[in-house]
Amino acid sequence: MTTIKLHNTRTRRKEDFAPLDPDNVRMYVCGPTVYDRAHLGNARPVVVFDVLYRLLRHVYGTEHVTYVRNFTDVDDKINARAAESGRSIGEITAETTQWFLDDMAALGALEPDHMPRATQYIPQMVAMIEGLIAKGHAYETEGHVLFAVDSWREGYGKLSGRSVDDMIAGARVEVAPYKRNPMDFVLWKPSSDDLPGWDSPWGRGRPGWHIECSAMAHELLGDSFDIHGGGNDLMFPHHENEIAQSCCAHPEGQFARYWLHNEMLQVEGKKMSKSLGNFFTVRDLLDQGIPGEVIRFVFLRRHYRKPMDWTMQKSEEAKKTLMRWHKATREVPAGEVPELVLNALCNDLNTYQATDVLFRLESAGNLSGLKAGANLLGLLTPESGAWVQKEEEEEKANISDNSAFELEVDAVLDLRSKLQQRAKAALAEKEQDKKEAKRLFAAADEIRNSLEKMGFELTDTPDRPKWSIDHGALLQFMELPMQGEVISFRSFEHEQDLEEHGDRFAGVKKQLRSLSDGIRSAFPELDL
């Protein structure tokens, strides 16, 4: 059996992963609070733990792995969003839950085996709270039920490496007067008539955030399970509180044995913030035409325990790489997952090293290995390749349109050359027709002037005229010969500029065709 090594946040060291039951490997990952679109930072843990899920299934078998990721659909943020929008809480949570599922599917994430919603497990939460009160780990006060941190001082803070005394001393927020200890946290709180609420032994109310995950994890995975994951920002207080209430409610179990946390994400070297204008949702990037597979690949190019910097340059490089790999492996069956790829992933989910191996496989011409290794990472799958086909179809359409444009330019230059040839012929005759030659040269010059006004640059050479076009920041076309090969616009490097200045480019084409038509209509008068 392949050995997987994982860095356990709880022990601060890399450990051999030994599941409680190899036939039933269990993992819980904290999911989103559903009140808005998932931003880029929300997506990173989804991709990280999707890769771990794929690795566990590869090693232990698809039917022997259970993955749970929850939805928090009862929360003060949701209540506030409903109040400000005038919509019902049910509408908001249903809509944003589907948004999340659609966006994560676009990133190539497999759906977990269970996706519980907090509101579906209120009875289990109430039962767990009752058990904590009975065991002396919780108390009721003023309609609230709070966990008594002092009842478990020996365990509280070990995950995050904090002591209770230090946390109390460093407290900066105003402490509710009904708390026995400033670190005590809410298990249940009262609800007014205008807020969601459920009947309970302590009156109508709703659960605290932390108890939700503990109750759902216990219901679906038991007293003890293998892996608990989430973003680094959840380590304290959320995960710390989960451990406290779960271990006290079910002392016979261990709750989660391996804790994994991914580091945070920034954008273009700065913390993602709406005030800085660098805040992106996943949907923002997808709507900008950045494929979900590209976003995924950028994530994989950084180890999950290292901070990640999202940049547009990285996404452009990732897109080029994936396009190349898709085309190279399209007709190639996937082989066995290369040992080097598997070893990298088994070494604390080192996706950066694994993707480096993919580049080496490409260089070595091992395309079946490249495809198999990429598939394990959730890349180059049949589902993920739709964007490549779309890009190719658009490219073909652009080539057709742009080739017609190039031919139009060449046709105008061909007409100009004929005018010049006729003028030279008039001068070469025994009885030189200088007036006719002047008229023809003037017409040729007018064509040149018209083209230059449009942004064309013409160069007369001994062999053939050449042209280029410069719209300032638009794009620099390659010089083309008057006759012969037509060079595809695919060779131009500034596609983004072309897109940004597309209206101007379309205007140039319209002017050029008008000029061409005007010259053709004038030819009979020039006896051509």
The strand pairing partners of 468, in sequence order, are 457
Are 438 and 356 contained in the same domain? no
Q: Specify the pTM.
A: 0.77
Q: 270 a known binding residue?
A: no
**C-alpha distances in angstroms, 440 versus 415, 418, 437, 464, 524?**
11, 9, 5, 19, 13
d(CA 373, CA 1): 19
Report the 3 state secondary structure along 251-305.
CCCCEEEEEEEECCEEECCEECCCCCCCCCEHHHHHHCCCCHHHHHHHHHCCCCC
Q: Quote the DSSP letter at residue 155.
A: T
Are 434 and 369 contained in the same domain? no
Q: What is the CATH number of the domain that holds 346?
A: 1.20.120
pLDDT score at 464: 65
pLDDT score at 444: 81
Q: Which three-class secondary structure state does DSSP give residue 207?
A: strand
d(CA 65, CA 377): 17
Query: Can you say how many angstroms the Cα of residue 255 is from the centroid of all Cα atoms in its chain?
Result: 31
Residue 210 buriedness (CB in 10 A; 0-12 / 13-18 / 19+) = buried
Q: Name which of 387, 368, 229 is nearest 295 in CA terms.
A: 387
Q: Quote the DSSP letter at residue 442.
A: H
Are 231 and 348 contained in the same domain? no
Domain edge (last residue) among 204, 239, 271? 271
Number of H helices, E strands in the chain: 17, 16
In a domain, 63, yes or no: yes
Q: 238 a known binding residue?
A: yes
In a domain, 396, yes or no: no
Query: Can you say how many angstroms the Cα of residue 247 is from the centroid of all Cα atoms in its chain?
Result: 36
Q: Which three-class secondary structure state does DSSP give residue 14?
A: strand
In a domain, 285, yes or no: no
Contact of 413 with 479, CB cutoff 8 Å: no
d(CA 409, CA 403): 10
Contacts for 349-352 with beta carbons within 8 Å, 24 or more apart? 349/6, 349/48, 349/51, 349/52, 349/55, 349/303, 349/304, 350/303, 351/51, 351/299, 351/300, 351/301, 351/302, 351/303, 351/304, 351/377, 352/300, 352/301, 352/302, 352/303
Contact of 244 with 148, CB cutoff 8 Å: no
Q: What's the order of all strands across the beta sheet hosting 308-310?
A: 270-271, 265-267, 308-310
Q: Say if strands 144-147 and 185-190 run parallel, antiparallel, or are unpaired.
A: antiparallel
Token look-up 């708390």 returns: 179
pLDDT score at 83: 94
d(CA 389, CA 376): 22
Number of separate domains in the chain = 3
Are 254 and 375 contained in the same domain? no
Element (H, E) at 45: helix 40-60
Token look-up 């030189």 returns: 432
Q: Which phi and psi angles does 267 have, rounded to 5°?
A: -125, 125
Residue 237: is the preceding peptide bond cis (ω within 30°)? Answer: yes
Token look-up 């808005």 returns: 36
In a domain, 286, yes or no: no
pLDDT score at 258: 99
In a domain, 297, yes or no: no
* Domain residue limits at 369: 312-380
CB atoms within 10 A of CB 273: 11
Q: Name which of 160, 167, 164 is nearest 151 in CA terms.
A: 164
Q: What is the CATH number of the domain that holds 213?
A: 3.40.50.620
For residue 166, what are the contacts with CB-CB under 8 A and spacing of at least 6? none
Are 225 and 81 contained in the same domain? yes
Contact of 43 with 104, CB cutoff 8 Å: yes
Burial 389-410 (b: 16+ CB within 10 A, else e): eeeeeeeeeeeeebeebbeebb
Domain edge (last residue) among 346, 380, 414? 380
> Which of the residues in the chain have pLDDT under 70?
169-174, 395-405, 430-432, 462-464, 468-528
What is the tens place of the pLDDT at every residue in 315-348? 999 999 999 999 999 999 999 999 999 999 999 9
Are 265 and 324 contained in the same domain? no
Domain edge (last residue) among 271, 296, 330? 271
Are 373 and 406 contained in the same domain? no
Are 100 and 70 contained in the same domain? yes
Token look-up 């733990």 returns: 49
Taking the alpha carbons at both ends of the chain, their separation in whole angstroms is: 83
pLDDT score at 405: 66
Q: Say if strands 25-29 and 224-231 run parallel, antiparallel, or are unpaired.
A: parallel
Q: 213 a known binding residue?
A: yes
Are 36 and 182 contained in the same domain? yes
Are 417 and 368 contained in the same domain? no
Are 371 and 509 contained in the same domain? no
pLDDT score at 494: 34
Are 73 and 196 contained in the same domain? yes
In a domain, 279, yes or no: no
Q: 346 a known binding residue?
A: no
**Tokens at 222, concatenated:** 């038991």
Length reported for the chain: 528
pLDDT score at 44: 98
pLDDT score at 508: 56
In a domain, 394, yes or no: no
In a domain, 110, yes or no: yes
